[in-house]
Amino acid sequence: MLQSDERIPLYMRSGSRQDGTVDVLRAGAFTHRPSRWHSWTRKLGFPVLVVLNMTVLAVLGVQMHMSTSLKNHIDESAVTAMYHTRGGVVAAMLPIKFAVSHVTPYKDQAGRGTCWDFGTIGALEQSYRKHGVEQGWLNATDYVSFSEQAYGIEVMELCTGSAGSPQQRACRVADDNVWRNSTEGGEVPLLYYLQTGLKDSVFPTRVCPYQPTEGHDWDCSGLQNVSIRKSNPLAFNVTAMGTFYEQASIKHKLVETGLAMPLSTTLVSVQHMYPCVGDWLAKDPRCHPSKCQLCPPELPMATCCVPADNTDGQTMDGEFLAHSGMQVDGGHVMLLVAYNDMFRTREGATGGFVVKNSWQDGWQGSHSMAYWMQDISEWDERVVCPNSFNPFNWYVPTEDDGVVDIAACLSDDSMAYAALNRQPLHLSCVDDTYCVPGRTYFAKNRTTWGDRMHVMCFWEYEHKDNSSQHVCFPPMLQEALATTLEYAVVRLLLSPSPTTSPFVGQ
């Protein structure tokens, strides 16, 4: 219940009673005398209010017009005004991931230094296929393979001549050999600088197949046939060439054109380090404070380190990594086909470019475009593009069903789960430094050691007497583990005279 003294009336006459009740104030209780201002407003008040209202409406109209004009200006110039800032690109306006379409299949440059050739031809193949599909004279599932061998020969021919000739000025680049009758080193921009001579010099692969071994740079009998040159249906025009150095501009151009771009980059050699901790290096004289080296940032908890193996700056998942121990070790050209800012690698890096490389797809590993764009799961990728050499893909049996020790590895459930997950279960010895040839190994666990190294433990099984023991390898890089053990069936398939094994098909 609201008490009478909880609120004080807004107005109270001096004659208000003390019992808490309030007299009502009425208009007639006051006398009113009109003023000059009151008389003037009674005569002109309405017209003045009309004028004021019209003024306010006019101001609001101008503001709305300016706002609409600004919005239209932004909409009409989104590409030039919103994407570019003083020649740069606003990264926030770009999609978080993007892949060009119509990319042609991978090819292998083998042991030759022709990456520049493959990067150029890869860009031309994708552009030709894209144009053909869009114009309707090429099916979406079809493509034409162009000859890297023929293109290299045509470039070498155009790069001959005196040092002062125009083509020589374009061809003479440090460490390149195209002007010295060799395709061991060249440049992608030669397609632009020599376009007049090269516009009719791209041929189908069947005319001039690629020669994978060194010393066969000029081999191509098809180019000696005059009728083939005259009847070549392929021709191209280079309308422009641009060079981009920072990520946002590269991504913007990829999205804007939908064209794959040759990507030139340095290759590196990475020196990895062992931390002088634990039992592995307890007696190593290199770990004495007077002889050891300062540990890299990758090992922040250790101070004293000794050199380990070198790697080429790539993982067995086909990823190029960053490391404080990188040293420049040559250059390479690949075809840039996509990027994904959200992809997280096993090394812990987030985001990167996707490239079509021209290296053999072996134990080094690679992945499908759908995997890099996160359109499929890791399990789907193991079905489409497996890599049994990668130790991170080896199946580790669990003891959840109550089966322990080596029995867990030999159980039917483990074999079934390994097959279901497309992961190798039975491993054989390749390097007898750490394992025994003829015995079978089953992955048990893996512990991170630092600087990309791992301590991996296994069950070592001798099937002759059905005995087993637990063994652990010293800290190793992923690549070193892959050259110590491998999937048992792989060894049988690669052997010229395969022998029978109880594990075939497991």
Domains of the chain plus CATH, in order, are 98-230 (3.90.70), 262-384 (no CATH), 391-494 (no CATH)
Residues in the chain: 506
Say what the pLDDT of residue 89 is.
59
Average pLDDT score over residue span 410-436: 90
pLDDT above 70: percentage of residues in the chain: 77
In angstroms, how far is CA 42 from the centroid of its own chain? 77
Q: Is residue 72 pLDDT above 80, yes or no? A: no
pLDDT tens string 105-154: 999 999 899 999 999 999 999 999 999 999 999 999 999 999 999 999 99
Give the span between the Cα atoms of 417 and 425, in whole angstroms. 9
Answer yes or no: are the C-beta atoms of 250 and 261 closer than 8 Å. yes
Does residue 503 register a pLDDT over 60? no
Strand (E) or helix (H) holding 442: strand 440-450
Residue with tokens 């050891």: 292
Tokens of 131: 């144009």
Q: State the pLDDT confidence band at 175, using cuts at 50, 70 and 90.
A: confident
- The type of residue at 312 is D
Q: How many helices (H) and strands (E) does the chain have?
A: 14, 14
Q: Kindly state the tokens that stand for 415.
A: 């074999």
pLDDT digits (tens, 9 = 90+) for 193-225: 899 889 888 999 999 999 999 999 999 988 988
pLDDT of residue 12: 37
> Cα(first)–Cα(last) distance of the chain, in Å?
84
Q: Which two tokens stand for residue 259?
A: 């064209």
Name the more confident of 363 and 470.
470
Integer Cα distance of 178 and 199 in angstroms: 18
pLDDT recorded at residue 391: 93
The Cα 190–Cα 260 span in angstroms is 17
Among the ranges given (20-24, 342-346, 492-496), the one the predictor scored with the smallest mean pLDDT: 20-24
Q: Is 375 left (phi over 0), alpha (psi -120 to 50) or beta?
A: alpha
CA atoms within 13 A on the CB side of 326: 13
Confidence of residue 498 (pLDDT cuts 50, 70, 90): very low
Q: Give the angle subtended at the CA of 498 by the CAs of 493 and 502, to the nearest 5°.
A: 90
What DSSP line would sit under 321-390, residue for residue? Answer: ---TTEEEEEEEEEEEEEEEEEEE-TTS-EEEEEEE--S--STT----HHHHTT-S-HHHHHHHS--TT-
Distance (Å, rounded) from C-alpha 39 to C-alpha 95? 68
Taking alpha carbons only, the member of 161, 256, 407 closest to residue 170 is 161
What is the C-alpha separation between 203 and 229, in angstroms, rounded? 9
Q: What sign does the CA torsion over 300, 304, 309, 312 have?
A: positive
Which stretch of DSSP H or E encloses residue 276?
A: none
Cα 177 to chain centroid distance, Å, stands at 31
Query: pLDDT by residue (tens digit) across 362-371?
Result: 777 789 999 9
Residue 336 has pLDDT above 90, yes or no: yes
Residues paired with residue 191 on neighbouring β-strands, in sequence order: none
Q: Using alpha carbons only, give the angle 236, 219, 108 rounded to the nearest 5 degrees.
A: 70
How many C-alpha atoms does 82 have within 13 Å on its Cβ side? 13
Provide the whole-model pTM: 0.76
Separation of alpha carbons 234 and 123, rounded Å = 14
CA atoms within 13 A on the CB side of 16: 15
Percentage above 90 pLDDT, the chain: 45
Mean pLDDT of the chain: 81
Residue of 348, 496, 492 lying closest to 424 (CA atoms): 492
The mean pLDDT value for 93-97 works out to: 93
Q: What is the DSSP string of 154-184?
A: HHHHHT-S-TTSHHHHHH--TT--GGGT--S
Distance from C-alpha of 319 to C-alpha of 100, rounded to nearest angstrom: 19
For residue range 249-290, what is the model confidence (pLDDT) as tens digits? Answer: 999 999 999 999 999 999 999 999 988 887 778 788 999 999
pLDDT value of position 148:
97
Tokens of 408: 């867990």
Q: Which residues of 373-411 are buried (b: 16+ CB within 10 A; e: fewer)?
A: beebeeeebbeebebbbbbbbbbbbeeeeebeebebbbe
Residue 430: exposure state from Cβ atoms within 10 A (0-12, 13-18, ≥19): middle
Tens of pLDDT, residues 293-316: 999 988 888 899 999 888 888 888
Q: Which of the listed ranges 38-47, 72-81, 99-108, 299-308 does the model predict with the highest average pLDDT?
A: 99-108
**β-pair type (293-294, 304-311):** antiparallel
pLDDT at residue 54 in the model: 62
In single-letter form, the type of residue at position 376 comes to I
